[in-house]
Amino acid sequence: MRHMNRYREIATAFSRNGFDFFVKEVGLDKVFTLPRRVVENKRGPEGTKTMGERIRSFLEDLGPTFIKIGQMASNRPDLIPEDIMEELGQLQDEVNPFPFEDVKRIVEAELEQPLEELFDYFEEEPLGVASIGQVHKAMLYSGEYVAVKVQRPKVEKQIHTDLEILQELATRAERRLKWAQDYQVKDVIKEFSKAIKEELDYETEGRNADLMSRQFENDSSVQIPNIYWDYTSKKVLTMEFVEGIKLDDTASLQEEGVDLPQVAERLVNALFYQLFKDGHFHADPHVGNVLAVNNERLAFMDFGLMGHLSSDMKSHLAELVVAMVKQETDNMIKAIKKIGGIPEELNEHELDRDVEQFLIKYYGVPLSNISLGESITDIFRIAQEHHIKIPADLTMVGKTLLTLEGVIEKLDPDFSIIDAAEPFGRDLIREKYNPKRIAKKVFDQVHEYGDIVEDLPEVFRELSSMAKKRKLPLEINIPKADTFFAKLDQVSNRLSFAIVLLAFSLIMTGLIIGSALGRQSTMLWQVPAIEVGFVIAMLMFAWLIYSIVRSGRF
C-alpha cells in the first residue's frame, strides 16, 4: 500500500511498451485498473518496435533504478539474448542536472563544513550528469584540481522503493511463471540490488579506486586517480582531476601523436593483469571510462562496477579457455562443472551435444579471428540453458572482454586478444601445478579435516544424548511428495463431499417417504422443505460432476 502509486507507474509502463500480459500474469491487474488511454494505445507504435527496443523504452520510462538494472543486465550474457543485450548497452542516463543549491546543501551536510571553507573554487556547471549523481570540477586550497561527484537528492529513497517493488514482482513471477523459476529471477534481482546499493555508497567506489591504485603502483603506464578521503562521504566523492582524451576520439588521439597500437596493448595487458593475476578487475572498461594521458599513460575512471575472481575461479577460467582452443569437449565440460553449481537433473548427454555444437562453430578458425569475449559468453549461455549456475563475477568476465574487444577494434584492428591472453593463461596453468601451491592446498585440507576429527567426539556425545531421549531427528525426502499429498487431499475432499451429498440425499428420501405414508404436508415453517432440499441436492450433485470433469480424471 505504501508504494501503490509507484506500482501503478510500473504497471502503466509495462502496458505502454507492450508487456500488458506480464501485468496480468503477476496479478497486478487485480489490484488496480490501468488508465483507459494506455489500454487503448498499447497496440500503437510500440507494435513496430523489436523486443529489445521495447524493453529499453520501458526501463528508460521508469528512471534511475530501472536504467541501472538494464545496464547491469547487459553484463549478463548468460541470461540475456544478444539482440536485447545490445539494446540494453545503449541505455543512457539522459537526465537534467539538479540545481547548484542542492549540490551545495548536500556537500555541506555530508562534509559538515561550508562549501567556501572546503574548496577554493567550485564550478557551478557540472562536467557530467547521470541518473544517480553529477560531477563538478573544483580546486582545493592546496592548489589541487579535483572532480567532485555528488549524489542526486532523494535518489537513494527512490531506488530503495523500486528495489522493494522489484523483489516483490520477482517473487510473484517465480510463483506463477515457469521461465521465472528457471532463470531464478529472485536471485538475479537480489544480486542486482546488492550491486546498486553498493554504487549508492561512494565510499565503496573510493575503496575500489584505492585497490586499483595499489594494483598498478609499480606500473607507470597506468594512472588511477587519487581519492581525497577528507572530502569524501557516502554521498560525496572527491578524486584527483585527470585531463586526457577518451579512447573513442581517435581523431584527437592521432592529432596528439598518440601511438594507438601501443595504447591497445597497454589496455589489454592492464585488464588481463587484473583478470588473471590479481583477480580484482574493472568490469566496465568502455571508451568513456579510459583516458589517454600525455601519450604515456592510461587513466581508468568510474570504479562503481568491479568484479572479483578467486584463485580457483581464475584457474577454472584458464582451463576453460585452453580446452576451447584445443577443441577438447571433455575438458570443457569438466571446466564448466567446476565453475558452476550443477543441478540434480542435469542431462549429461544434452550438455555434451551442445558443447560439441559450440566447438564446431570454431573448428578450423584461426585463433586470431576468435573473439574471446564472445566465446566465453556462448559457453556461459550453454551453462545457463542447462541450469548450471555461474557465479556473477565470472559472467561479468565475458561482457568485460566483449567491451574490451570493441575498444581494441577501434584502436588497432590487427591486435589479437587471444595471443595477448596466451601468456597469462600459461602462467595460470603453471601456477595451478606449482608444488608450493599444491602443498599449501593439501595442508589447508589436512587442517580442515583435523578440525572435523577434533569435533567428532562432541558430535557423537550430542547424538548419543538425543538418542537416549528418543529425540533423534529423522528427515525423509520423498520426491514430489508435495504433489502426492495435494492430490491425496483433493481426493479426500471430493470423497467427503460425495458422502455428505449421499447423506443429504438419504435424509431427503426419508422425508419424502415419511410424508407420503403419513399423508403430512411438506411445509416446514412455511417453507417447502422437500422442494428446497431437492434443489440443493441437484446443485451439490452438479458441482461434484463439474469438479470431476474439470480435473480430467473422470
Any domain includes 84:
no
Lowest-pLDDT choice from 237-241, 367-371, 484-488: 484-488
CA 190 to chain centre: 7
Q: Say whether both 194 and 305 belong to one domain.
A: no
* Whether 190 and 315 share a structural domain: no
- Give the lowest-confidence range in 3-17, 36-50, 388-402: 36-50
Arithmetic mean of pLDDT, 521-535: 58
Number of H helices, E strands in the chain: 23, 13
Q: How far is CA 41 from CA 12, 51, 75, 87, in A?
A: 11, 17, 33, 23
Please identify which of the residues 20, 78, 284, 302 carries the catalytic annotation: 284
186, 217, 241: which is the final residue of a domain?
241
Q: Say which residue, 371 or 438, is predicted with more confidence.
A: 371
Residue 213 belongs to a domain:
yes
The predicted-structure confidence for 56-87, as pLDDT tens digits, reads as follows 888 888 888 888 888 777 767 667 777 787 78
In a domain, 346, yes or no: yes
Q: Which residues contact 341 (CB under 8 A, 6 or more apart)?
A: 388, 389
Residue 88 φ/ψ region, left for φ over 0, alpha for ψ in the -120 to 50 degree band, beta for the rest: alpha
350 and 379 in a single domain? The answer is: yes
Instruction: Let me know if residue 368 belongs to a domain.
Output: yes
In this prediction the pTM is: 0.69
Residue 1 has pLDDT above 70, yes or no: no
pLDDT tens digits, one per residue of 138-183: 999 999 999 999 999 988 888 888 898 888 888 888 888 887 777 7
Claim to verify: residue 157 and residue 255 sit in the same structural domain: no
Please state the domain count of the chain.
3
- Backbone φ/ψ region at 525: left (φ over 0), alpha (ψ -120 to 50), beta: left
C-alpha cell at 200: 549508492
Q: Answer yes or no: do 180 and 317 share one domain.
A: no
pLDDT averaged over every residue in the chain? 78
Residue 229's alpha-carbon distances to 147, 205, 207, 209, 437, in angstroms, are: 13, 12, 10, 12, 37
Q: What is the pLDDT of residue 9?
A: 83
The more confidently predicted of residues 472 and 243 is 243
278 and 422 co-located in one domain:
yes
DSSP 221-280: TEE-PPB-GGG--SSEEEEE----EETT-HHHHHHTT--HHHHHHHHHHHHHIIIIIISE
In this structure, are 225 and 260 located in the same domain? no
Whether pLDDT at 516 is above 80 = no
Q: From CA 554, how far away is CA 552, in angstroms rounded? A: 6
Reading the block at residue 443, the C-alpha cell is 595442508
Of the listed ranges 78-92, 513-527, 534-548, the least confidently predicted one is 513-527
End-to-end CA distance of the chain: 44
Task: Quote the cell numbers at residue 483.
Answer: 504433489
Of 403, 433, 463, the position where a domain reaches its end is 433
The CATH number assigned to the domain holding 168 equals 3.30.200
Structural domain for 186, as ranges? 95-241
Of the chain, the percentage scoring pLDDT greater than 90 comes to: 15
Top-confidence residue, 481 or 154: 154
Distant-in-sequence, close-in-space partners of 337: CB < 8 Å, separation ≥ 6: 388
| Residues 187 and 152 placed together within one structural domain of the fold | yes
CA dist 162 and 168 (Å) reads 10
Among 401, 433, 465, where does a domain finish? 433
pLDDT in tens, 302-327: 888 888 888 888 888 878 877 877 77
236 and 285 housed in the same domain: no
278 is catalytic: no
Asked whether residue 52 is assigned to any structural domain, the reply reads: no
Q: Is residue 260 in some structural domain?
A: yes
Alpha-carbon distance of 142 to 168, in angstroms, equals 50
Burial, 36: exposed, middle or buried (Cβ in 10 Å; 0-12, 13-18, 19+)?
exposed
Instruction: Kindly state whether residues 117 and 198 are assigned to the same domain.
Output: yes
Of 165, 116, 163, 160, which Cα lies nearest the Cα of 141? 116
Residue 501: its pLDDT value, please? 63
* Residue bearing the bigger pLDDT, 179 or 534: 179
347 belongs to a structural domain = yes
How far is CA 58 from its chain centroid? 18
Q: Are residues 204 and 324 in the same domain?
A: no
Asked whether residue 525 is domain-assigned, the answer is: yes
Q: How many CB atoms lie within 10 A of CB 531?
A: 11
pLDDT winner (highest mean) among 262-271, 325-334, 454-463: 262-271
Q: Are residues 388 and 530 in the same domain?
A: no
| pLDDT over threshold 80, residue 430 | no
- Rounded to 10 degrees, the C-alpha dihedral 60/131/166/54 comes to 10
